Structure 1
Amino acid sequence: MIPMLAPIPALVTAPCTLSGDIRALAVSGRTVLVRLPRGYDAPANRGRRYPVFYLLDGQNVFDGATSFIGGNEWKADETANTLETNGKIEPVILVAVYNAGANRVNEYTPAKDIKNQVGGGADAYGKWMAETLKPTIDRAFRTKRDAANTAIGGS
């Protein structure tokens, strides 16, 4: 079964600082922002494929207006734009995966905290990323699909 991709209505009500070609998708009901490198849609690049960097806590990655860390953002979009323009890195697709809010700890920790009854969902989250999210992104965008061109990072 192919997960549904759907545009997300306005994500923020405050002024935002998104920079570049950023597309909002819903993958299995989760918000995912995809930042495409400059020139992605240019005719000269139609056959070009790009490495992918998946970033967790996606609310914080591109825009302080959606960040849960006091309006601070990682500025990943601005940084990638600068590094690519200056030839410091190969153009890259950034995928900002929103966390599950109150269930964030559950999906990011492998072991359950018995006392507080939280955590333990990292295996299921990793499986979702590998079996649902990555294949969805690979089908929707021109990615380099191998492990050498796929990275993950987060808070």
Structure 2
Amino acid sequence: MVISVYEEKDIAIVEDLKKTIKAIIGEENLIYKQDLSQQEIADFYYLVDVFVMSSMFESFGKTAVEAMSRKCAVVSTSVGGLTEVVHKEENLYTKEEYGKGVLRIEKLYQDIAELNKDKDYFYQRYLNLYTRQVYLERHIEVYHDILKLPNTQ
């Protein structure tokens, strides 16, 4: 689990959350990391099967895209850009209906075939929409539209 802590008050919330998770899954099953470097975060994604992004607001969802690029299934709150990035209704939940997210995580934990299907879905979504090459092609297309040049691709 990786948790971003932005404010002093968040530390107490994180400690309470860790205590609750340990009680549910056992301390030996919780890998908790805080204040990781970019490389440590990149390496961490490869250990993750299901990436849970619970956010109150999110302009784009870069963290979810990073997880998708490492073949993680993504379950997320349906806010801001995350709704478009995740784009899979059964993997989106609201803070009012957080139980939907919990049920989805349980389903993925219990059903390896479903988990693998989700991991493939999100990795393909990353390849189709969010790679450097895809963005480069989109930018070139915009430039052609602006300049009214014929698209040579």
Would you call these one fold, judging by a TM-score over 0.5?
Answer: no
Identify, as 1 or 2, the structure richer in helix: 2
- In the superposition, the TM-score normalised over structure 2's length comes to 0.25
Higher RCO, 1 or 2 (CA under 8 Å, sep at least 6)?
1
Identify, as 1 or 2, the structure richer in strand: 1
